[in-house]
Amino acid sequence: MDVFAHGLYGGAFSRIIKPKTSFWIAVLFGVLPDVISFGPHFINSFILNGSSFNVPVFNIPSYVNNLYNITHSLILAILLSFTVWRFLPKYKLEFLAWPLHVLFDIPTHTNFYTTPFLWPISNIKIHGISWGQTWFMILNYIAISIIFLVLLKYRRVSWKFLIIPVLVGVVWISLFTLRKPETLNLNLDGKIYILRTAKTPWEKAQGLSKIREAKEYDGMIFYFDPPEQATFWNKNTYLDLELIWINNKQIIGRDELPSITHRGLVTKTSPGKITEVIEIIKQSRIHFTY
């Protein structure tokens, strides 16, 4: 689930269990698992080094994964709760927003950062539904707003608090949905292909997975800046794909990436460093010859 919703659920939850809890401390505990996991990388790459959001997902350093394991484990959250009870007893109820964050993440992630809730004992993860869909976000923020309304009715929050979920929901969902999938036309082998672009870590992790039929495009182009040797797999991929490895506008190799239903799990690694890879859907009929 998104970090803002986690904060709001955390704050609301603390007021559900006790009227006099500190709302904002609970919000803080609600967002901390994500802030600790992604905050250092975010500050390092986007603020200190000024890079854009178009960073390949494969470039996310491994320490982010390690932090994610630590902060998104229910086992470690329980251990941490003992520490909070011992040293910050005043905020022991507010701290519950942290394990609540982990619980809410379990069914709301798929492919991208699934929740290692039993780490380090087990690496079991659940592929749920992705929170990164407009319908889910709208329903989620409606649910949060209703919870705040109920809290207002029972005088657990003042009416001013009602503005928060509505404002955060409207601004955040608008920003999220306005980033429409970008496409470009590419001339390849005498044909024009309509390709969706994958630049952000999110777009790259999703790729063409879970799509069974593409009606408006022929494939996808992934960008790597800086160039790197990339590995692609067909997990959750139901389309037969051709991979075209490109380095500095030169095709350096081609590969087949069959759908998971045809050949089981297959991985393909680029023959060298690449700046782009194009995935062409083999069943696609959009492209035309001129």
Residues making contact with Zn ion (CB under 5 A): 33-34, 105
User: Rounded to the nearest whole angstrom, what is the least distance from the CB of residue 8 to Zn ion in the complex?
Assistant: 14
Question: Could you give the CA distance from residue 69 to residue 102 in angstroms, rounded to a whole number?
Answer: 11
Would you say 218 and 195 are in contact if contact means Cβ atoms under 8 Å apart? yes
Nearer to Zn ion, 105 or 240 (CB): 105
Nearer to Zn ion, 70 or 286 (CB): 70
Nearer to Zn ion, 117 or 232 (CB): 117
User: Rounded to the nearest whole angstrom, what is the least distance from the CB of residue 108 to Zn ion in the complex?
Assistant: 9
Cross-strand bridge partners of residue 219? 195, 280
User: Rounded to the nearest whole angstrom, what is the least distance from the CB of residue 106 to Zn ion in the complex?
Assistant: 10
Nearer to Zn ion, 99 or 219 (CB): 99
Q: Which residues contact 268 (CB under 8 A, 6 or more apart)?
A: 231, 232, 233, 243, 255, 256, 257
User: Rounded to the nearest whole angstrom, what is the least distance from the CB of residue 279 to Zn ion in the complex?
Assistant: 29
User: Rounded to the nearest whole angstrom, what is the least distance from the CB of residue 205 to Zn ion in the complex?
Assistant: 15
Cα four-point dihedral sign 175, 178, 181, 185: negative
Cross-strand bridge partners of residue 276? 223, 246
Nearer to Zn ion, 34 or 203 (CB): 34
Nearer to Zn ion, 115 or 270 (CB): 115
User: Rounded to the nearest whole angstrom, what is the least distance from the CB of residue 103 to Zn ion in the complex?
Assistant: 10
| Beta strands 219-228 and 191-198, pairing class | parallel
User: Rounded to the nearest whole angstrom, what is the least distance from the CB of residue 83 to Zn ion in the complex?
Assistant: 20
Nearer to Zn ion, 84 or 100 (CB): 100
